[in-house]
Amino acid sequence: MSQSVRLSVPDLMTILATCAGAAEPVDAAAEDLGEVPLADLGYDSLALLEASSAVERRFGISLPEEEVAEVRTLNQLGDLVNDRLAQVR
């Protein structure tokens, strides 16, 4: 795994939208969405779990369900994913 792999808010929005089956994701280019609660963006806990599973498969990392369950914003999800990616060097 490359050390340079790092997911951004737009990357996560695209993954969430794909997993939730959204026709069009929320404006993924808007970096200020990072602190908006996922529920306010229309994503429930099932969408979050599906997105975390997709990230695990795509990047070969493990995201503990109990930690994923604590995620409330894109920034929190990004921190969790990017911390795991940094551990897989």
Domain limits of the chain?
Answer: 9-87
Indicate if the pLDDT at residue 44 is higher than 50. Answer: yes
- Topology adopted by domain 9-87: 1.10.1200
CA distance 24 to 6: 23
Dihedral (CA of 35, 74, 72, 27) sign: positive
Indicate if the pLDDT at residue 4 is higher than 80. Answer: no
Q: What is the pLDDT of residue 89?
A: 65
Q: Are 16 and 49 in contact (CB under 8 A)?
A: no
pTM more than 0.85: no
Q: Are 11 and 34 in contact (CB under 8 A)?
A: no
